[in-house]
Structure formats: C-alpha cells, structure tokens
Amino acid sequence: MNTIQIRKRELNNCRPEPTMNEDELNRFWDHYLHVYAGSPLQIDSEPEETPYPHMKVSKVTYRGFDQTPIHAWYITPADSNESSKRPCVITFPGYSGDRGLPERYAHWLMLGYSVLAADVRGQSGETGNLLPLDGGVVKGWVSQGITDIHRSYYMAMAIDTVRAVDAALAQPGVDPAKIAVVGGSQGGGLALLAGALHPKVAAIVADIPNLCRMDYGVLHSASSLTEIAQYIKRYPDLLDPILYHLAHFDILNLAPRIKAPVMVSVGWKDTVCMPETIYAAYNRIEAPKEIRDYPFSGHEVNEYQKREAVLFLERVLGKA
C-alpha cells in the first residue's frame, strides 16, 4: 500500500463524534425553519441588460433574515419560457466574494439550466447587512454576534441560504423538483447547509466546503475561522459557548439531515478547508454521495472538478 492509499484510508476512517446532540439540533432548526416559513420573501425582479445574446438576466431581490434585502441574478437561456420548466442551479460565493457578473454562469446555461446566483450578506457584493452591531467583532464578518445565536452572522447567513432556495422556487420556469445548490469553500459549506435545511434541494455540489468540523477549523484553519480563534483569544472564557454556537451550523452535526445526492471535492494540501474537516462531515452523510480527492491540490477548484460537477448534475437532474 503506497502513501496515497494510506492517506485515503486515514481520511475514510476520520469519524469524530458529533459535537451536538442530534435531537436537540433538530428541534432547534425545526423551530427556526417553521418561524421563517411564513415570512414573506417580498421578491422584486428587474430585467438586466447583458451584452450576451444567448442569456436572459434579471436582478432579483428578496428578504433574508432580519429583512435584509439579498441581491441575486436570475439567469436563463434566452429562448426560455415559463411553460418550459428547467432545472435551476443556485450558487453561493466563497468567503469575501460575491455573485459577480452573469456570464460567470454561462456553462450552466449551455446545459439548458437556469441559475440563481446569490450574494452573501455584507461581503463584496451589493447586499448589505442589517444585523445590529452591538458588540465588538474581529476583522471580517463571522464573529458578528457570536455570543448571541439568535442574532449572529452565522444564523443570518443560514436563514439567507434557506431563503435563496425559496426565491429560486418562486422564479418563472423553474422545475421545483430539480433544484441544485452549488459552491466552493464558503459556497460549498452553504450548499451543504441548504441541503440540510431545505427539503426541496434535489442535488448538491460542495467543492472544498467550509462549515465542516468547525471546532477543528477554529484550531487549525488559515482562513475565516481564524476570526473566531482571534475572538476567543481575546475572550478565552467564552470558548465553550462559542463552540456550542458553531455546533448548530456544523455540517458534521447536520449531515444526517441531508437527503439529496451529494458530490464533494477535497484538496489534500488545503490549509483553509482541510481534508480532516471535509471527510469528518462527508463520512456522516447518509444520502447517495460521491467524493473527489485531489491529493496535490490546495484551496482551489480545478477545471477537471468543474467538469465533474457538470456531469454529476446531469446524472442527478438530467438534461434540460
């Protein structure tokens, strides 16, 4: 057995204990999802000009957690119509990113799919953040409200993610049985979170996902979770309540709620979303699942994996 095979065996056996009781976690989310199920989306949609003749673009705005307006693109092939129902791919950006320009999603349109490309609140897109800043934060976003789960950035981001699925379902021409969620890094974590919290998600592609085994990430990661580590460094007496807070959003704990087919990718040299975090969550997913290992990749999604994602969604959702 060579070194690569040994490492693969180690990762397959990476099965840390959940950090939160499953019944308690389910009661928490069932309550919150019930509360927000009755909250109006207040969707606004305006046509957006594009230089590309083969796509039709609308700028969509809907209300997320705390009524923050979340901005997104809804993009379809130019020849689409409401009577022809298409699969819809919902995309989430990586940390500090945004939805970008509509042409970023042209490969999904070439398959005949529609796309809802959503911003994440407060980051570099058009979407703001109405959460109250009534306590100190570490540089970045994720430590906002970290001592109050009911008003924290993670809670807002989670509900925003669920609302993105609701907003996609409300768009014309979307097949409600063929909703996919896709993203890399932060976006990959949000794709898994959407799959765990929204029953209408039919397929998930989570590349190098964040939000997995978050306590390990706080200790070892080189990216967003260092903000939480810095906060705890300043307030070491808050370590246990903050880790309990994070446990509510950790895919390690939420994995059994995922019912849709999943594809996950992992870079073994990734120091941001480390394989020990991704495999820990992946190994607890009970739904049909596939993983793609890249032993010599870091925190990146290569062209080969982008094609693998396309082929996976074609297998799960079919052609438009």
User: Considering the domain boundaries, does residue 180 fall inside one?
Assistant: yes
User: pLDDT for 254-272, tens place per residue?
Assistant: 999 999 999 999 999 999 9
Q: Is residue 212 part of a domain?
A: yes
**Does residue 245 form part of some domain?**
yes
Residue 12, domain member (yes or no): no
**How confident is the prediction for the chain on average, in pLDDT?**
96
User: Which of 108, 110, 246, 129 has the alpha carbon at shortest distance from 189?
Assistant: 246
Categorize the per-residue pLDDT at 135 as very low, low, confident or very high, splitting at 50, 70 and 90.
confident
Domain count across the chain? 1
- What domain range includes position 89? 19-313
Q: What are the residues facing 45 on neighbouring strands?
A: 60
Classify residue 154: in a domain, yes or no: yes
DSSP per-residue string spanning 88-119? EEEEEPPTT-----GGGGHHHHHTT-EEEEE-
- Residue 83 pLDDT exceeds 80: no
162 within domain boundaries: yes
Report if residue 182 sits inside a domain: yes
Query: In whole angstroms, what is the distance from residue 160 CA to residue 28 CA?
Result: 17
* pLDDT at residue number 295: 98
For residue 103 the two structure tokens come to 């042409």
**What is the predicted pLDDT for the residue at 319?**
80
Is residue 145 predicted with pLDDT exceeding 90?
yes
pLDDT band at 52 (very low <50, low <70, confident <90, very high): very high
- Two tokens at 33? 């999802």
With cut-offs at 50, 70 and 90, classify the pLDDT of residue 223. Answer: confident
Whether the predicted pLDDT of 79 surpasses 90: no
Q: Is 297 a catalytic site residue?
A: no
CATH code (residue 124): 3.40.50.1820
270 a catalytic residue = yes
Angle (nearest 5°) at CA 10 between 294 and 309? 30
> Which position among 185, 221, 224, 265 bears the catalytic label?
185
pLDDT reported for residue 7: 98
Average pLDDT (64-86) is 92
User: Is 185 noted as a catalytic residue in this protein?
Assistant: yes
Q: Are 232 and 242 in contact (CB under 8 A)?
A: yes
Q: Which ranges constitute the DSSP H helices of the chain?
A: 3-12, 22-37, 106-110, 153-169, 186-197, 214-220, 225-234, 239-247, 251-254, 275-282, 303-317
Using 50, 70 and 90 to split pLDDT, how confident is the model at 84?
confident
- Is there a domain that residue 130 lies in? yes
At 285 the pLDDT is 98
Banded pLDDT at 134 (limits 50, 70, 90): confident
